Amino acid sequence: MDIYRLGDIYDPKALLRSLGVESGGVAIMANKMELFYILIKDLKAPAVNILKQDALSIGADLAVPSGVVNCEKPAYDCLLIGTKKHIEILSRKELAQPFGLKEVAKTLKRFLESKNYPIRIMGVINANDDSFYQKSRFVGDSAICACEKMIEEGATIVDIGAVSSRPRALSVSIEEEMSRIQPICDAIKAQKLYQKALFSIDGYTPSVVEYALKCGFGMVNDITGASDQKIIELAIEHNATLCIMHMQGTPQTMQHNPFYKDITAEVSAFFEERISKCEALGLRRDKIILDVGIGFGKSVAHNIRLLQNMRHFTSFGCELLVGASRKSMIDTIIPTLIEERLPGTLAIHLKALESGATIVRCHDVAAHFQAIKVWEAIQNEILD
């Protein structure tokens, strides 16, 4: 007889089936193998006591501060710990409880409804002369060659932008932006490259976005987070996907001492509001991608916290994009030249994938393709 402890189990159902567990038992047991940690802030004291007892009654638990039993304060932060099965039970049970627990129940149910999406690589093409990574800058025919190379290397999305969004980047006129992007869009249309991959326009100027969509682009990567209604309307008109990114401030101001009381909660509230805005105008949720905006109006601590809590954002039911390719947070953690930040980039992106992201925006497509294939093999290999 051999006994050993298993590592992280990424696909509980596959493991159970490999052991020969009956189909009915697979579903039941899989729900007991996934552990949830759910932080609830400012919950009314009576609600904390009720939730604590309800959690304990089914084998889950609620970590609470001292003084909760006597309701010494009006509200408390607490940590709910339980399996997927526990969360399912509480999402129903708390619907009948007062003191705000009905809203807690609705949120718990949403955490259970996240969807699975295939992993995709988005290659980056910068049609400008001031993006922070020099090797990502292309113009004219060189941009088309770079697109084709990225597709060959494994990119299923190619993101093309004509305006740098690096910190303190200079503003560019609409005419200049159009002059940079137009020949590339024309070539993609003429060569029908949009049949080989999904092309994304990295921009928020309506006239530029519209031109790209008319040339066969199928996605809008909007760093302003759908702030302009016209961009949403263009996505709807052309049946395009819209990526909503969170950014505090503008590229010119975003890194001037960014501050949040709770970055996860604030980014989540931002997505809630923007998704509602898009849906009200007629854009379906399955046409929305979310990007927490690593490095856009955030300190390294903010970026790390978002990566740690990436799983939370899967509750919106949208694909999650992560883009930290060669960014300065790597240099802050360990001083490194831009040209030497690929290892740090891969570490960040693989962590994001592990936490629920499914689209990786990067400069180095081939390296990411290899790393992701190995990572997937490690996750999917259950038993010999």
Please check the confidence at residue 333 and state whether its pLDDT lies above 90.
yes
Please check the confidence at residue 382 and state whether its pLDDT lies above 60.
no
pLDDT digits (tens, 9 = 90+) for 223-239: 999 999 999 999 999 99
* Residue range 332-361: mean pLDDT, rounded: 96
* Strands of the sheet with 75-83, listed across from one edge: 35-44, 75-83, 61-63
Please check the confidence at residue 129 and state whether its pLDDT lies above 90.
no
Do the Cβ atoms of 100 and 44 come closer than 8 Å? yes
CA triplet 24, 30, 34: central angle to 5 degrees? 160
What is the pLDDT, as a whole number, of residue 267? Answer: 97
What is the pLDDT, as a whole number, of residue 381? Answer: 67
* Residue range 10-32: mean pLDDT, rounded: 88
DSSP letter at 134 equals G
* Residue range 134-147: mean pLDDT, rounded: 82
Which tokens go with 244? 């909503």
Confidence of residue 102 (pLDDT cuts 50, 70, 90): very high
* Residue range 153-160: mean pLDDT, rounded: 98
- Phi, psi (degrees; rounded to nearest 5) at 80: -90, 130
What is the pLDDT, as a whole number, of residue 39? Answer: 96
pLDDT digits (tens, 9 = 90+) for 263-320: 999 999 999 999 999 999 999 999 999 999 999 999 999 999 999 999 999 999 999 9
Residues 6+ positions from 147 with CB-CB distance below 8 Å:
123, 125, 158, 160, 188, 193, 197, 199
Question: Pick the residue with more confidence: 65 or 18?
Answer: 65
pLDDT digits (tens, 9 = 90+) for 201-224: 999 999 999 999 999 999 999 999
Q: Any long-range contacts for 221-224 (C-beta under 8 Å, 24+ apart)? A: 221/159, 221/161, 221/245, 221/291, 223/165, 223/247, 223/251, 223/293, 223/296
Please check the confidence at residue 186 and state whether its pLDDT lies above 90.
yes
Confidence of residue 169 (pLDDT cuts 50, 70, 90): low
Percent of the chain scoring above 90 in pLDDT: 76
In the numeric block, the tokens 């990572």 are attached to: 375
Do the Cβ atoms of 157 and 121 come closer than 8 Å? yes
- Three-state SS string over 260-310 comes to CCCHHHHHHHHHHHHHHHHHHHCCCHHHEEEECCCCCCCCHHHHHHHHHCH
CATH code for the part of the protein at 34-111: 3.30.1370
Q: What share of the chain is helix, strand, coil (3-state, %, to 5)?
A: 50, 15, 35
Closest CA relative to residue 120, chosen from 14, 181, 200, 192: 200
CATH architecture for segment(s) 120-380? Alpha-Beta Barrel (3.20)
Which tokens go with 356? 């629920």
Distance of alpha carbon 81 from alpha carbon 75, whole angstroms: 19
Distance of alpha carbon 351 from alpha carbon 312, whole angstroms: 14
Amino acid at 250: T
Q: Any long-range contacts for 13-18 (C-beta under 8 Å, 24+ apart)? A: 14/380, 14/382, 15/382, 15/383, 18/382, 18/383
Mean pLDDT of all residues belonging to the chain: 92
Which residues are part of the catalytic machinery? Answer: 327, 361
Cite the residue boundaries of each domain of the chain with CATH code 3.30.1370. 34-111
Which range, 46-50, 137-141, 167-171, 258-262, is most confident?
Answer: 46-50
Q: In this structure, how many other beta carbons lie within 10 angstroms of the beta carbon of residue 43?
A: 24
Cite the residue boundaries of each domain of the chain with CATH code 3.20.20.20. 120-380
What is the pLDDT, as a whole number, of residue 38? Answer: 96
Distance of alpha carbon 10 from alpha carbon 55, whole angstroms: 25
pLDDT digits (tens, 9 = 90+) for 60-88: 999 999 989 999 999 999 999 999 999 99
Distance of alpha carbon 60 from alpha carbon 37, whole angstroms: 11
Bridge partners of 198, per DSSP, are 157
What is the pLDDT, as a whole number, of residue 326? Answer: 95
* Residue range 236-247: mean pLDDT, rounded: 97
